[in-house]
């Protein structure tokens, strides 16, 4: 009677040694499949980010209506102007769209000057500086709207958004939607936003801001002298403050 056949493997005869099972071969994932999965992940992430972008760009009621009686133009430096270029009194305002106090000035103080501007006694020049979160995009949007005659409509729209949105107030998509709502040519507006013309105006505004030694916005000047109290503008708004148009 014979016993079971013994393994010819010499390790079987050593104490404490056992045969290990043969390693399992893992199939390699094809490169094309990894690329496909990566593309799907990127696509889903981009889609989620797109859905989080601004979806509305509300315009103020009767946007632009308060400027109907006022002449519009630009200075030699490209800064937007309300009123006649030869008006004897010059009011300059350094403003940023991310500055809440600048928005307050446009809501409460500027309308008091409309009568003097309409009568030709004064001109108002806005010198836009791109400070604060979203400031550069907002400034370019306002100036690009100005290229199509709608600077002041975009100006009031941008100020009206202060405090209404979180983190993306002046997102480029939102300002482009506002441009569409204002009836601007879409292609011309987007080309302007990426162009160098308005950037040159912004650079001149910043240079002027630095030249005058300013530290913040709004900074308002009356005939070249910085005012410390808006009450100093009362003399301009009074009918007897200058000649007639």
**Which domains does the chain show, CATH number per domain?**
65-241 (3.40.30.10)
Structure tokens at 204: 């001149």
- Threshold 0.85, pTM exceeds: no
pLDDT at 162 over 70: yes
Query: How does residue 12 score in pLDDT terms, banded at 50, 70 and 90?
Result: low
Place of tokens 């045969």: 19
Q: How far is Cα 5 from Cα 2, in angstroms, rounded to an integer?
A: 9
Q: How far is Cα 160 from Cα 106, in angstroms, rounded to an integer?
A: 10
| Residues 149-180: b if buried by 16+ CB within 10 A, e if exposed | ebbbbbbbbbbbbbeebeeebbbbebbbbbbe
CA angle 8, 18, 7 (to 5 degrees): 15
Query: How does residue 244 score in pLDDT terms, banded at 50, 70 and 90?
Result: very low
- Share of residues in the chain with pLDDT > 70 (%): 80
Structure tokens at 51: 């859905």
């Amino acid at each position: 009677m014979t016993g079971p056949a013994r393994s010819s493997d010499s390790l079987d005869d050593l104490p404490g040694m056992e045969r290990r099972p043969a390693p399992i071969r893992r199939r390699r994932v094809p490169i094309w499949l990894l690329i496909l999965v990566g593309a799907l992940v990127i696509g889903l992430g981009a889609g989620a980010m797109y859905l989080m972008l601004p979806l509305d760009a509300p315009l103020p009621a009767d946007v632009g209506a308060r400027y109907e009686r006022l002449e519009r133009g630009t200075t030699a430096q490209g800064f937007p102007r309300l009123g006649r270029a030869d008006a004897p009194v010059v009011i300059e305002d350094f403003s940023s769209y991310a500055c809440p106090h600048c928005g307050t000035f446009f809501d409460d103080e500027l309308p008091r000057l409309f009568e003097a501007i309409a009568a030709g006694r004064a001109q108002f020049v806005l010198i836009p500086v791109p400070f604060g979160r979203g400031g550069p995009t907002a400034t370019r949007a306002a100036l690009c709207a100005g290229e199509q005659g709608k600077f002041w409509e975009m100006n009031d729209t941008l100020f009206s958004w202060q405090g209404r949105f979180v983190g993306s107030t002046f997102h480029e998509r939102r300002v482009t939607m506002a441009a569409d709502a204002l009836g601007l040519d879409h292609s011309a507006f987007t080309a302007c936003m990426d162009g160098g013309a308005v950037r040159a105006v912004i650079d001149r505004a910043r240079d002027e801001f630095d030249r005058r030694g300013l530290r913040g916005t709004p900074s308002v000047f009356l005939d070249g002298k910085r005012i410390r109290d808006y009450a100093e503008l009362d003399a301009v708004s009074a009918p007897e403050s200058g000649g007639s148009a």
